[in-house]
């Protein structure tokens, strides 16, 4: 059956657990310089309507390492930028490649593409979600501290695509998210497509959100697509900077994460992101390993090797 990964909850808890275990195996093999080419002759199309460093690199390198190849497309150089309907693009592109990754604006665009695709479609970031990043973040947490079930994640800052995806992941994998945003930037449960809110609590004061947390995380105050609001956001978010005081009220062994790119001195201090509790480089690297596991799963299903 054709499977897409458009939102975190498109896969079940058992499937996510499989992917974390599979990513561990694939990463260990990669670190031993073992060749592993299950996707020989398979092609990934990567469609970017927004900028990227990590997502492009990890998908392109990942597909190459699995024996396949990747093609980079962007809005500027394709007919998508000249108004070709996304449904037509889905029909055509999916007849020529085996799997597609899209980074775009509204979630609706990727949903419409996928509805017309013959092959699996992966969300490489939309305005609403960033599921591949949360896959990497949770895998990183597991590597550092073990299972995330029952743990508490403190989300500080904007209720953006990362925040929404953390909230979905908490429902799927049974952990808690404490969210603190400035007034006017609160979580919209409908936009986050939450089917339950049992795992989510909001706090006016970011210090209260961090108290007792196992993982503290944040993201840029102005996401791609919201650049016109940058000046007013800088003022509104000034008290939502993750600093040493916030890390101090979290658990003593709390981990700090940030999907990157980061703005030191805005959403996080240099002391925290470059400090001993930060896992940001492992987090970035793990995009490669979890996405290799994801592409393998979407194309081949569960494998034993």
Q: Tell me whether residue 103 is one of the annotated catalytic residues.
A: yes
**Region near ligand CP per CB under 6 A, out of 4-12, 49-57, 89-97, 174-182:** 49-57
Judged by beta carbon, residue 94 or residue 193, the one nearer ligand NVA is 193
For the CA atoms of 116, 38, 300, 90, what is the dihedral angle to 10 degrees?
Answer: 0
Q: Is 259 a catalytic residue?
A: yes
Phi and psi torsions of 102, nearest 5°: -130, 135
Burial of 32 (0-12, 13-18, 19+ CB in 10 A): exposed
Do β-strands 152-156 and 215-218 pair in parallel, antiparallel, or remain unpaired? parallel
CB of 26 to ligand CP, least distance (A): 19
130 labelled catalytic: yes
49 binds ligand NVA (CB under 6 A): no
In the bound complex, what is the minimum distance in angstroms from residue 162's beta carbon to ligand NVA?
A: 5
Distance CA(170)–CA(165), nearest Å, equals: 9
210 has catalytic annotation: no
Burial code (b: 16+ CB inside 10 Å, e: under 16) for 101-122 equals bbbbbebebbbbbbebbebbbb
Binds ligand CP (CB under 6 A): choice among 16, 26, 52, 86: 52
- One DSSP character per residue, 119-166 reads S-EEES--SS--HHHHHHHHHHHHHHHS--TT-EEEEES--SHHHHHH
Q: Which of 219, 233, 241, 258 is catalytic?
A: 219
53 scored as a contact of ligand CP (CB under 6 A): yes
- Least separation in angstroms between CB 50 and ligand NVA: 7
Q: Decide whether 261 or 301 has the Cβ nearer to ligand CP.
A: 261
Q: With helix as H, strand as E and coil as C, how does 193-212 read?
A: CCCCCCCEEECCCHHHHHCC
Query: Which of 44, 259, 298, 299 is the binder for ligand CP (CB under 6 A)?
Result: 259
Give the SS3 label for residue 189. coil
Q: Write down the catalytic residue from 130, 178, 199, 258.
A: 130
Active site residue 42: no
**Spatial distance between the Cα atoms of 149 and 147, rounded to a whole number of angstroms:** 6
Q: Is 281 in the site for ligand CP (CB under 6 A)?
A: no
Residues 262-281 binding ligand NVA (CB under 6 A) are: none
Q: How far apart are CA 231 and CA 261, in angstroms?
A: 18
- Interface residue with ligand NVA, options 19, 153, 167, 220 (CB under 6 A): 220
250 forms part of the interface with ligand CP (CB under 6 A)? no
Please give the Cα distance from 61 to 79 (Å, whole number). Answer: 26
Identified binder of ligand NVA from the candidate list 47, 80, 138, 162, rule CB under 6 A: 162
Catalytic annotation, residues: 103, 130, 133, 219, 259, 287
Report the interface residues with ligand NVA, using CB under 6 A: 125, 160-162, 219-220, 223-224, 259
């Amino acid at each position: 059956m054709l499977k897409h990964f458009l939102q975190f909850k498109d896969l079940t808890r058992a499937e996510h657990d499989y992917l974390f275990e599979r990513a561990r195996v694939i990463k260990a093999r990669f670190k031993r310089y073992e060749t592993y080419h299950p996707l020989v002759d398979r092609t990934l199309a990567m469609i970017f309507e927004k900028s990227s460093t990590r997502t492009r690199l990890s998908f392109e390198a990942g597909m190459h390492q699995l024996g396949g190849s990747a093609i980079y497309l962007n809005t500027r150089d394709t007919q998508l930028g000249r108004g070709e309907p996304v449904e037509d693009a889905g029909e055509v592109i999916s007849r020529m490649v085996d799997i597609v990754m899209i980074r775009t604006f509204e979630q609706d665009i990727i949903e419409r593409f996928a509805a017309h695709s013959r092959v699996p479609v992966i969300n490489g970031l939309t305005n609403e979600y960033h599921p591949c990043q949360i896959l990497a973040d949770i895998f990183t947490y597991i590597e550092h501290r073990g299972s995330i079930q029952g743990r508490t994640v403190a989300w500080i800052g904007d209720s953006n695509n990362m925040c929404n995806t953390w909230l979905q992941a908490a429902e799927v994998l049974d952990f808690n998210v404490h969210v603190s945003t400035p007034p006017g930037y609160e979580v919209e449960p409908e936009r986050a497509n939450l089917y339950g809110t049992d795992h989510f609590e909001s706090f006016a004061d970011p210090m209260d959100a961090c108290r007792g947390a196992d993982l503290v995380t944040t993201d840029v105050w102005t996401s791609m697509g919201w650049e016109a609001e940058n000046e007013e956001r800088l003022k509104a978010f000034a008290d939502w900077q993750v600093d040493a005081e916030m890390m101090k009220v979290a658990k003593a062994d709390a981990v700090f994460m940030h999907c990157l790119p980061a703005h030191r001195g805005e959403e996080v201090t240099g002391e925290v992101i470059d400090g001993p509790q930060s896992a940001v480089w492992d987090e970035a690297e793990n995009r490669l390993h979890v996405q290799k596991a994801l592409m393998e799963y979407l194309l081949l299903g569960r494998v034993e090797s």
